[in-house]
């Protein structure tokens, strides 16, 4: 039926449900389970989940390493939730905020072997919903029937390869926007087909599609770009890139809504809080259960191609951006360094980016 949502649309619905604390039902290769985000789970819903069976808490191997729990997999760890554990126990395992105050959260028992696809996908859904990467799962015999009886979203990925994680973009609108750096400015708005965060392309001047264009892939940073935070170098990089494009007479700024290296503003603030406890930016991400960098720069490549650009002079200190552009069909004829904004508050942060994330600083 034409009105029926497809898998990508159901995945977007499932992410919205998880953010609100509503469970969903996930099916993979004949198995099915109720899935709820650990961060938004309520005591009432935990009790209801327990009526279906014994819950497991799916977390990332990064978080499991912090908790000294065995993952038995490079993709996911499945922690057995004790019978007397409440929501607070689950959320304390998922959230590292009080790790230093309560270092002994275990010993945690984890499952070994068996099908891990549902647990792995549940964590991926929580991540893309910009929640803590942890999900409570309870196996059920009849996925569609369980979903229908409880009014829950049923997402069957048995025939999918998780391609829904990366959604195609469509240009929604564009208009002239005169700016301080250029009176000839134009803003393009791109929207993912899965209803996710919109991304923006700003043309400064009138870039020639036939020549390599000066380009900056800039991930949104509310604290640096808007508040002027000196904890990072994002704000200075943004303004320096726009000024360089103005001097050159043309350029393209891609402003991608991938806050906090792709983990979202709330998780970024959690990482900042951990940094205040003495962890560096990479260690903080790992304790939360994330990788060093969760961003997808293929988004930028797709936007450039849709605007008619195929070669760039890329303003970045991050070799990963260069590799991603070249790996997706955009020729990088030159990497243009962008070393600005170092100060007393971010010197250690920049050193960590160089030492652990390979930035050329």
**Residues annotated as binding site?**
216-221, 232, 234, 237, 259-261, 281, 316, 321
**In contact, 293 and 273? CB cutoff 8 Å:** no
Six token digits for residue 148 = 């229908």
Residue list, annotated binding site for GTP? 216-220, 237, 259-261, 281, 316, 321
Distance CA 81, CA 105 (A): 12
Six token digits for residue 37 = 């985000």
DSSP secondary structure letters along 306-344: HTT--EEEEE-S-HHHHHHHHHTT-EEEEEE-------T
Q: Is 99 a catalytic residue?
A: no
Give the side-chain half-sphere CA count within 13 A for 69: 32
Q: Which residue has the tokens 């499945």?
A: 78
Helices 298-306 & 319-327 angle (0-180, nearest 10):
50
Q: Which of 194, 295, 298, 335 is catalytic?
A: 295
**In contact, 59 and 76? CB cutoff 8 Å:** yes
Residue list, annotated binding site for Zn(2+)? 221, 232, 234
The residues, any chain, with a CB within 8 Å of residue 57's CB and separated by 6 or more, are 38, 78, 79, 81, 90, 93, 94, 134, 135, 136, 137
Q: Is 295 a catalytic residue?
A: yes
- Helix or strand or coil: residue 349? helix
Q: Which of 293, 298, 320, 344 is catalytic?
A: 293
- The 8-class DSSP code of residue 235 comes to H
Active site positions, annotated: 293, 295
């Amino acid at each position: 039926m034409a009105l029926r949502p497809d898998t990508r649309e159901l995945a977007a619905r499932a992410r919205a449900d998880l953010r609100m604390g509503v469970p969903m039902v996930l099916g993979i290769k004949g198995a099915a389970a109720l899935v709820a985000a650990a961060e938004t789970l309520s005591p009432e819903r935990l009790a209801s989940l327990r009526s279906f069976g014994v819950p497991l808490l799916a977390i990332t191997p990064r978080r499991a390493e912090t908790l000294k729990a065995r993952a038995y997999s490079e993709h996911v760890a499945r922690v057995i939730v004790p019978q007397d554990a409440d929501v607070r126990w689950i959320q304390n395992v998922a959230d590292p905020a009080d790790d230093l105050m309560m270092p002994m959260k275990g010993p945690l028992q984890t499952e070994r072997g068996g099908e891990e696809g549902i647990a792995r996908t549940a964590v991926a859904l929580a991540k893309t919903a910009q929640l803590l990467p942890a999900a409570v799962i309870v196996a059920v015999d009849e996925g569609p029937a369980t979903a229908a009886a409880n009014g829950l979203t049923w997402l069957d990925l048995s025939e999918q390869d998780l391609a829904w994680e990366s959604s195609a973009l469509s240009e929604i609108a564009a208009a002239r926007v005169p700016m301080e750096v250029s009176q000839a400015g134009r803003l393009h708005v791109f929207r993912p087909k899965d209803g996710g965060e919109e991304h923006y392309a700003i043309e400064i001047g009138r870039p020639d599609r036939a020549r390599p264009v000066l380009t900056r892939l800039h991930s949104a940073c509310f604290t640096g770009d808007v508040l002027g935070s000196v904890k990072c170098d994002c704000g200075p990089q943004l303004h320096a890139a726009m000024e360089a494009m103005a001097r050159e007479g043309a350029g393209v700024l891609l402003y991608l809504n991938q806050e906090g290296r792709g983990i979202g503003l709330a998780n970024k603030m959690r990482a900042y809080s951990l940094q205040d406890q003495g962890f560096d930016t990479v260690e903080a991400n790992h304790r939360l259960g994330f990788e060093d960098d969760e961003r997808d720069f293929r988004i930028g490549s797709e936007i450039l191609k849709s605007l008619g650009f195929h070669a760039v002079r890329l303003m970045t200190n991050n070799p990963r951006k260069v590799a991603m552009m070249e790996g997706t069909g955009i020729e990088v004829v030159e990497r243009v360094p962008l070393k600005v904004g170092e100060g007393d508050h971010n010197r250690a942060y920049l050193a960590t980016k160089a030492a652990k994330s390979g930035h050329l600083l």
